[in-house]
Structure formats: C-alpha cells, structure tokens
Structure 1
C-alpha cells in the first residue's frame, strides 16, 4: 500500500493544515476540491513551501466519476467538508454592510459560525446538512470501499477513511447539524471490514498561526477562560454546563492527531475532543 492521502476540501480552513501535516510526514498528498486551486496564504514563503508538494485537483465529491481515478492506490481518504449552518448568506450580507476589511465591524462579522471555507460546496443548491455533512461523506466512503474491493483487501494493512465530525451540538444551532454528523458516523463505521474508519470530534477550531487580533483567536481565549472558570468555581461538577462550555482546539492539533491515527495500523473508531487536545 502506497502512502497516498486524498484530502477532500484540502484547500479549506482545516483541510489545508491536514495537507501540510501530511506533507511534513512524507506522504503523497492530493487535495480534491471544486476549484482545484491551492489556498492563498499570507504566511512567509518558507512556511508555504509545502503547497508545492500537494497535487491540487478539481472534482465534485457527490460525483465519484470525477475523482474515482484518484482513489486507486490511496492509503487513506480524509473528508474535511461540513457546514455549521445551512444558510450562510447572512455572513456575506453582514460583511458587505460592515464595509471594507479595514473597518472595525468587518472583523467581528467574519467569525460568525462556520466550519471554514468549503470550496466544493460554494454556491451549491444542495447546501444542506443532509447533503454536505452526511451524504457527501457516505458517497465518498462507498466509492472508496468499492475501489478497495476491486483492488483487493489486505486485512493487515487496511486503508483509512477519516471523517471530520463534531464534539457535540452548539447552543442556538439546529439539531440537524449534529444529527447529520452522527448519522454519517454510523454509516462509516459499517465499513470497518473494508477500511479503518477514523471519526474526529473536534470542538471550535482556531488557527495557531493567526495573530492575536484574529477573531477566532479571541473566541478561543474566551472559551479557555470560561473553561478555567467552570473548573475553578464549579469544579466541573455540573454536566449541563460542561456540555455547553467546551474547549477550543487548533487546526494544527486536529491535523497532528489525524495523522497519528492514520499511521497507527491498529487504530479505528472515534477520537473525542479530549484526545485531540493532547496532540
């Protein structure tokens, strides 16, 4: 089995860091997105060298015929797509109303709930929990399973399928969000005889490389403060509060954890937030 990793949504907020970590670990990396373009990063050139090591390909996750050839010989697939809200048009409206990127109000509008940029699904009429969070993962998993079965299965070295799920639902977020994630998980775990399913359950995501003025960083600090306050004042003894105040996790931690699980031939199953935080 070759060390070829396919990352669907590889130029998104989390996907790009998964690609970067995989390159650093010596894997052959192919990013699949609708645009097929690499991400535009503002970091120094030396920190962007990994981008040249990734093969950036265009495909539609809901149409296996557009990417089936890439599945052949793959040692792993990562599904890094998802939406927190089914209608994210309000974000664009708020940003337009708040003016240019230099205006103070622009920055707070930019943090509004989102899993990140998902190039495969922009302007897609199927921008729903059912299609993006669930059906796209199931479609991809079935296509990968069929490819593996045609090539033959080595029970000692099964390929991996990694799904970016979620720790739990969020206040004021429709139940359909977490329900779609859990339903996708159930389907993926049924394929454990063909590939090793790896289910990641991160919480709120932030980027360690962003500066202190980044809004996601502000939210991260707020969540950490609330968690410390919960433990210090309440001892973390109230499950109802523990279920609401959950720690944030960086996309670098998630990426490191993903690659560690992928390269562990004995691991399969769910990776909770507490384990991801240790990466």
Structure 2
C-alpha cells in the first residue's frame, strides 16, 4: 500500500522540500494551498519531483474544501504559519551595497498576500494555532470512519518552532506551544509529530536575499559561540541557536513519519544530529 501524504502549504519555503523528500521516499504526495500552484523550480532537479506532486487549491479554515482529500490520506503535514502579524513589525535588512530587503520575505508562504490587514485570519491565534487544530479535527473525523481500513496509525506533523526570536512578539512562540499541547490530545487517533526547527535556509539558494544575510549573521554568531565560548554559557546557548536547512528538516520529518514508534517533539538538536 502506497502512503499518501497531504502537505498543507506544500508550495511554501519548507513545504516544497517536504514534498520533494516525500516523493523521493516513494510517497504519493498532494500539496494543498490557497493558490494551488506549484513552486518555481530552483534547480534542474526540482522539475522532476514537482511533476510528481498533485497541486490542489484549498482553504485550511474550510474543511469542506479538502475533506475529500483527507479520506484516503495516511499522513498529514501542517506547514503553515506566520512570523509577524502585521506591517508594523516590518523591518529592513541592508547589505553592503545598500540594497534593502523586506523582512516579510522571511515568512512562510501560504497563499494570498499575508500582509493584507483586511485578512481577519492574519493573527498568531488563527494562523499558527487554530488552522492546525481545525485541520487536526477534520483529519480525526475522517479517521473515525475509516480507521478499520488502516493498518498503521496515521500521522499529523505540525511545524512548530525551536524558540522565540528577539524583537518578535511572544505571541508567536506562545501560539506554537499552545497548538502543540492541543495536538498531543489526539495521541491514540494519530501520531502527533511536533517539529521544532530554528532559522531555516535552503541549500539550493543561489542568490542573496534577506534570509541569506540573516543566515550568514547567525552562522557567524554560532561559530563564535563554539570557538570562543565553547558553548559553555547556557544563556548564550539559549539566545544563539543553530540554523538548519529545509532539506535537513524535511529528511527528519519523513524519517519520523516512517517510524511507527515515534510521536512527540522533534527538537532542533535531534534534527541537526541526524546524518
């Protein structure tokens, strides 16, 4: 039996790499997003796996738009969320050539313009927490009527976060932790997999943007912490966290989905330690 993986936000920064890794591991993959469009290829290899994914449009807040896809899904991934709630938190990152970049480019992509203040869903509560719980409840209802047909317990993967970030409101990490706690209540119906990546970058990125500059800065700080402080100061270790590639995160997610004994939190340290 071929496993069917549904990735909500599968055309986003991390979501597309989850789709790619799942295809490479023999999953039947469907991406659901507001637009339903595939991502732009970033390398020649991308064209191959993109052609293997079924790209569909759906609204995570409206289960009627995707219930039919959940009925035969063995695994679901929630790869949606926001880092900032509105434009008042927007900052600029400048490179040595004085080119400015919008901080919103660091945020996950989930469809239409996330910085549209007319969008009532653009809050931590709605995007980071309620969207996941609505999806989990819809998945649970599907499982209750089809569980007899399933040999292995299905999985629900939630992309959470390692820590909060300086200058980012506490509501960001609080909404993530609240969603995690609620999802663990479903243990027994499906395996909750709660993934906590740090700042992510893509291994195939070839052009500089805001994310690239932030990534380089964080890597420099991490290097200094390792070489000069030898990671001995706990408060520094809590503040300066390692970065991780979307490919590493995706490999860990698929590995945990395929492990029938695993449920719970996937920490940043455990992901970095995986070969």
Does the alignment reach a TM-score above 0.5?
yes
Q: Is the 8 A contact 2:42 2:204 kept in 1?
A: no
Q: Which of the numbers 245, 252, 268 marks the counterpart of 2:247?
A: 252
Query: Cα offset for 1:275?
Result: 1.1
Alignment correspondent of 2:12: 12
Q: Measure the CA separation in 2 of the matches of 1:111 and 1:167.
A: 19
CA contact (8 A) 2:180 2:194 kept: yes
Report SS of the residue matched to 2:157: strand
Deviation, 1:179, is 0.2
SS at match of 1:224: helix
In 2, the alpha carbon distance for the partners of 1:105 and 1:254 equals: 32
| Aligned equivalent of 2:184 | 189
Q: Deviations over 1:22-77 (max 9, x none)?
A: 11111100000001111122422x43211111111111001111100000121100
Whole-angstrom CA distance in 2 between matches of 1:47 and 1:35: 19
1:78 and 2:77 are equivalent in the alignment = yes
- Alpha-carbon shift at residue 89 of structure 1 (Å): 7.3
Q: CA deviation at 1:278?
A: 2.6
Note the alpha carbon deviations across 1:95-154, whole angstroms, 9 max, x for none: 9xx9xxxxx555x41455733222167443210000000000000001001100111257
SS in 2 for 1:219: helix
Whether the 8 Å CA contact 1:158–1:195 is kept in 2: the answer is: yes
- Residue 119 of structure 1 aligns to a residue whose secondary structure is coil
Within 5 Å, give how 1:1-279 maps onto structure 2. 2-44=2-44, 46-88=45-87, 104-106=97-99, 108-111=100-103, 114-119=106-111, 122=114, 123=116, 124-152=119-147, 157-211=152-206, 213-279=208-274
Post-superposition offset of 1:242: 1.1
Note the residue ranges of structure 2 that are not aligned, 5 or more in a row: none
Aligned-partner SS, 2:220: helix
Do the aligned residues in 2 keep the contact of 1:167 with 1:201 (CA within 8 Å)? yes
Q: Tell me the distance in 2 between the aligned counterparts of 1:33 and 1:154.
A: 27
Name the count of aligned residue pairs: 270
Structure 1 residue 277, shift from structure 2 partner: 1.3
Q: TM-score, normalised by structure 1?
A: 0.89
Cα distance change on mapping 1:19 and 1:191 into 2, 3 Å: same
